A and B are shown apart, each in its own frame.
Chain A
Amino acid sequence: MANRGSHKPNGSSPMCQFKLVLLGESAVGKSSLVLRFVKGQFHEFQESTIGAAFLTQTVVLDDTTLKFEIWDTAGQERYHSLAPMYYRGSQAAVVVYDITNQDTFARAKTWVRELEKQGSPNIVIALAGNKADMANKRMVEYEDAQAYAEEKSLLFMETSAKTAMNVNDIFLAIAKRLPRNDDSGNRQRTQGQHLEDKDRREVKEGGCCSK
């Protein structure tokens, strides 16, 4: 992946654009989280992602329109050699694990470490403990993950793509943390005004469906 600037099309677009990448072990629910966030849908058996999938979603936060450019990656080990292609140039990353599977949490830690080493300098990393609806099969304690997140100063939430729990919240939390660039921020605020209503409706709709 070429080293694309974070606000490349800012001349033409009135919005802030952010690149976000989802990482995590296979079958932890990365694609489901994205699908829930973008379309408000959930499939019990989401087609396994090969290579990567690309989606976009717009959120409005404090009069600012943010457009997420989401790269959903494949979980299987051997696809990790492709990962740098996706997280390179990302302003945000969601590292997902499955609370019913300890291995996936370990793998998530590896990903956090790799992002710290390889990712963009100010990358916002969120840790998502997915499948929170299956708490009865829990293998990863909330406190452990919480402690780890604090230690690494990560955003942390337990989520459920199935019930939509915390899905929009975690993305909004990321959005809040994302730095707004001085050069484009002002202009976008004035230009993006009229988009606000429509975009807010979009997110609301997604939220309604999900709950």
Chain B
Amino acid sequence: MTRHMNMASSRGTAEVFNQPKKFNSKNTPSVPVENVPTGILISFEPTEKDHGQNPSESPSFSRNMETIVESEGRSGEAASVVDLNGSRRLEAVQERGDDNPQDQSNSDSMATQNDNQNATDSFKLCGYLDKLGEKGIIKTYKKRWFVFDNQRCMLCYYRSHEVVVPLGSIPIANATFSFNPSDSERPGNFSITVEGRVYQLQAKDYHTKMYWLQELQERRKSYSQLRTSLARDSTKRSSMEPTTGLVSTKRMKEKGGDPWSGLPPLLQPVTMPLHAVGEDTAGSAKPGISLSSIKMDLKNPIVGIKRWKSMHHESVPSNQTNSSVPSQAGADPCNVQAQSSPPIPKPRRKHLNADTSFMRPTSILQRFASNSSENSAEKCPKCAQLQAQLCSVQEELEMLDSEAKASQEVIQILHKQLTEGKIQQSTNVKFLECKTDQAKLTLMHRKDKQLVQLEQLLQEVKHDREAMKKELMAFQSKVGDLEEQISMFKEMLVAKDEIVMDLTMKIGDLEKAPPVTASSVEETSPQSPNSFTDQNFLGEKVDGFSVGQKLPPVANAFYLDRHEYEKLKDACQAFETQNKFLNKEILELNELRTQDQLRENTYTEKLDEFEAELYKLQSKHCLLLNELKAPRREVTSMEDTDDLVSQLIEEAIQSRGGDVENPVDDIPGRELYDKYGFTESLDDEDKEADEPLVTMAAEFQKKVDEIAMKHKSDENISHSVKWENFIISCRNRALVSTPELKSLVRSGIPHEHRARIWKECIERRVKRDMEECGPCYYEKLKTKNHNTSNPAVKQIELDLLRTLPNNRHYDKITSPGIPKLRNVLLAYSVHNPAIGYCQGLNRLAAIALLYLEEEDVFWCLVCVIEHIMPMDYYSKTLIGSQTDQKVLKDLLAEKLPRLNAHLDQHNIDLSLVTFNWFITVFCDNIPAETMLRIWDTFLFEGDKVLFRYALAFFKVAEEKLLTKKDYLSIFATLRQLPNMMKDVKKISQIAFHDLNPFPKKNIMAKREVHRKQVTQQLEELEAIRREFVPRHSQDDLIGSDDDDEEFETLEAPPDYP
């Protein structure tokens, strides 16, 4: 596998030669040439097409380079260049490093299997993957943040983990997965096919890819199981729960037996690659193709070139060939930076002097160039011109090269002659120097001896040569042997390709077949044996290959690299893995089909039931219509009609009762409460007032709307996924108020995240108070209660059970919410004696306690009373709240002038209705869903949303109110207003869009004006009361605390005691 992966980096074909040689894009083996200079030539051709089609032919650039790096002993430097580049793309050396953990993890996989299984239960499947773009002419891989949405079984992708709005999503429920092992260049490549659409994705490495595939399969399976179980039992729901607050429930995980455990484990489970998948990767990984990373890509070649330049000038300053290259290479990236369509030369060559570290930047440059050359070749006519020029220059260069070679040979010959001459000369000189014959003789002898020695040497060398030749022969035979193997491998590859094609087609067929018809399942089942046969067939091929090894050598090809063999072996392995994977995929798909069928049967049954019901109803409807027409003529049939009508009414009421009963039967005692703990308010006044049939008709209409809504919302990107992603992106960070978050909050905080977001919203506002008060402030306040007699204590105690009697957390004295509510309210009354306890605060605390812990709820009160709301909202005079009612009245006149005039005409004072909304933040019989949505925005944005929602309520009810023409019926409608506020989406839309603009300045200005008026009125009232209160207070046993403090915010008149 290692080898296989190394191949991946050779994007452009690259060769390393030891002598200048004309470039050849095909993988002709490099022929060694004698007279080896130390220079290395690297040539590239970015012909991706050739490469992709026949990967087995691609030269293994990375391996060659590796070899060189090692042989030069400079691998460290090479690696440092990689670090310096920090490129997103997989680089040869880096990739080599990646192999190790994989091997390691493979060996560990058995050991960690169980842990892994546990991890997948709670683990959120997310991470960065590269996705092949689908738009535009040039399709490139772009880095995307992928998050799996468990609820809808979709893979959503985002520009980055920080972005809230997904770019798109891939439905996994009916998807099939595959990968192409022959695309050795991208080991992390895999594809997801959904309804004819193919998504090409690329994981960081092979291991990560396998992990993703495994997880996706797993999740697809469990989703299918879930759907089947849901089809059987439509009342079962899976919802997430917050972990804090009263609404949290401990989830009991039912671990039933896995019905699919019978499947043979074709593939060993892959462990989770920590560095590539999971929430942690969000922080570490940077979004891929963002602008900054493009800059990085552009910078890298320049850095490389600079490096190269400097090194080159130091080592070989006077090299003719070199001097032209750097300028050319240096110019390219500059152009690239200046304009996105750079003129790129065709095959370029670089002369390099034993500096392997240079190769890194070059390769990057080359890749970059190869990318952009594809881009520019089509567009720029100037490029073509330049390329032509370059070609001619290249030819010249080649001519010069050959000339240089010729002159080198001449020089060598001359050099040899020169040496000969020199030796002759020296011998002659010595000979002449010798005076005596004796001396000459000795010299001769010496020379003779030398001659003999040389001859002997020559002989030895000859022997050596013979031996070498024999060795060569042996090698040749070996090479032939290998050659044979290669051809076998190639054959096998073709066969495998066919098998893969076959399998892919089968999968395609499976996909195309109608998902849940009986026939399709029958069709699919015989197909899995087929696939097994294919596997067997493959096995035979492998066997056949091993036989091929023993074949006699055919020695017609030389220098066949042993690596080639390894490479093919790797490819074989890869294919085997793919085959296994595809087999597993087929089995899984088969199971999915079975599940689908099961589901379909259930649905069909239900559909039949419903259809029968419908026809029954229709027939009755027709009969009734007929009767309604008839009685005008025949008096006798009136009784029949009445019977029919009463029967229908009875049936209608029964069927409604049946609807309600079903869920209760399934989960006894649970469905009486909603997830917030509220009972369904059955004592609605209007239900009694209206005809029961009319109410029911309205309810049915509501259900119709709900179903229509459900289908609509399925089309949109899931709101909850947006939240999931947001929560991941700011896991360890404080909440930052961004427009994105604002709109998210406005669209509602999901139940399971509400606790966290509320808490952060509160803490953001009360941070300073918390710091000032110290760490155990709340605990201290709680103990203080016992010592001091607080006038608020009595009132709090009276109100505890009267806070939310329709919520099961507060409906009994033993309910869990009651002591908490008491603690919080008492603590606040001690914390802020000026306010003490105001009715209404109990509701605020109770709602907050649904989600937050006691202490946080205390801070929530601090936050609402002292930070969000204006002054004196809950004080002894309630001036703030009263003022806001006047402000609301003004705003109503601005935003809804028609309604305002109507109300004025009938002397309706809206503040009688709206006062409660403001002081309890809409915790006043408003449907819980709506009320909590208002709370979301209220805690996040502040008090302005109160006006927004109040006006939105009136806007929703405007038409209905306008039809009411007298005081009482208008008030009756106003009293029913909360029940009309169930469509949260619509109300929010009105509150935050239709009512705009909604400037805060306007509200502030109005508040100021009205506050003065309200204060004055209160002063007058107080003056009147003063006349009898003091006189009365003598025999009044009411604690005088309240009375004394009542008007503390007003100027105390001098005669006030």
Contacts and interface: CB of A to CB of B under 8 A. Distances in A.
B795 interface: yes
A198 interface: no
B846 to A, nearest CB: 11
Contact of A45 (B802, B1018, B1025, B1043): B802
Contacts of B1027: 117
B803 interface: yes
A41 B684 CA distance: 12
A116 B536 CA distance: 104
A46 B912 contact: no
Contact of A77 (B913, B916, B924, B1042): B1042
A4 B683 CA distance: 31
Task: State the 4 A-B residue pairs at the shortest beta-carbon distance, nearest first.
Answer: A51-B915, A48-B802, A45-B801, A45-B805
A79 B967 contact: no
B874 to A, nearest CB: 8
Contact of A13 (B803, B915, B966): B966
Interface string A30-50: 000000000101010111111
A9 interface: yes
Contacts of A118: 1024
Contacts, number: 134
B468 interface: no
Interface of B: 683, 685, 688, 795, 798-799, 801-806, 811, 838-840, 842-843, 875-878, 882, 907, 909, 911-913, 915-916, 919-920, 924, 965-968, 971-972, 974-975, 1018, 1021, 1024-1025, 1027-1029, 1032, 1035-1039, 1042-1043, 1046
A113 B1035 CA distance: 14
A81 B1028 contact: no
A190 interface: no
20 contacts: A2-B907, A2-B909, A12-B965, A13-B966, A17-B967, A26-B839, A27-B798, A27-B802, A39-B685, A48-B798, A50-B839, A50-B924, A51-B916, A52-B915, A69-B968, A76-B795, A78-B839, A80-B1046, A81-B878, A82-B882
B1037 A103 contact: yes
A46 B802 contact: yes
B798 A4 contact: no
A191 interface: no
Nearest to B908: A2
Contacts of B877: 78, 81
Contact of A79 (B839, B920, B972, B974): B839
A74 B685 CA distance: 21
A161 to B, nearest CB: 14
Nearest to A74: B839
B1018 A85 contact: no
A30 B21 CA distance: 105
A120 interface: no
Contacts of A56: 968, 971-972
Contacts of A39: 683, 685, 688
B1028 A41 contact: no
Interface of A: 1-2, 4, 8-9, 12-13, 17, 25-27, 39, 41, 43, 45-52, 54-56, 67, 69, 71, 74-82, 84-86, 102-103, 106-107, 109-110, 113-114, 117-118
Given A46-B802, A78-B1046, 11 more contacts: A2-B909, A26-B795, A26-B839, A45-B811, A47-B804, A50-B840, A52-B915, A77-B1042, A79-B839, A81-B1021, A86-B912
A27 B913 CA distance: 21
A8 B876 contact: no
Contacts of A27: 798-799, 802
B828 to A, nearest CB: 15
B814 to A, nearest CB: 13
A85 B1024 contact: no
Given A9-B967, A54-B975, A78-B1046, A109 B1032 contact: yes
Nearest to A77: B1042
B1037 A114 contact: no
B1028 A114 contact: yes
Contacts of A78: 838-839, 875-878, 1042, 1046
Nearest to B919: A50
Contacts of B909: 1-2, 85
B1036 A110 contact: yes
Contacts of B805: 43, 45-47
A110 B1028 contact: yes
A50 B1036 contact: no
A54 B971 contact: yes
B842 A48 contact: yes
Given A4-B907, A12-B966, A27-B802, A82 B876 contact: no
Nearest to B875: A78
Nearest to A104: B1038
Given A45-B811, A46-B805, A26 B798 contact: yes
Contacts of B799: 26-27, 48
Contacts of A86: 912
B839 A114 contact: no
A10 B924 CA distance: 32
A51 B914 CA distance: 9
A102 B919 contact: no
A106 B1040 CA distance: 12
A48 B1021 contact: no
Residue of B803, B843, B1037 contacting most chain A CB atoms (<10 Å): B1037
A25 B1018 CA distance: 20
Contacts of A25: 1038
Given A50-B843, A109-B1032, A81 B882 contact: yes
Contacts of B1021: 81, 84
Contacts of B907: 2, 4, 8
B839 A48 contact: yes
A48 B919 contact: no
Nearest to B683: A41
Contacts of B1036: 106-107, 109-110
Given A2-B907, A12-B966, A102 B1037 contact: yes
A106 B799 CA distance: 21
A195 B1028 CA distance: 44
Nearest to A11: B966
Residue of B840, B924, B974 contacting most chain A CB atoms (<10 Å): B840
Nearest to A56: B968
Contacts of A1: 909, 912
A155 to B, nearest CB: 21
Contacts of B882: 81-82
A107 B794 CA distance: 15
Nearest to B792: A76
A55 B1043 CA distance: 30
A4 B968 CA distance: 12
A43 B806 CA distance: 11
B968 A67 contact: yes
B911 A85 contact: yes
A80 to B, nearest CB: 8
A54 B915 CA distance: 13
A38 to B, nearest CB: 9
Contact of B1032 (A13, A71, A113): A113
A199 to B, nearest CB: 14
B402 to A, nearest CB: 100
Given A8-B967, A81-B882, A118-B1024, A47 B1032 contact: no
A184 B1046 CA distance: 42
Contacts of A84: 1021
Residue of A17, A48, A54, A117 contacting most chain B CB atoms (<10 Å): A48
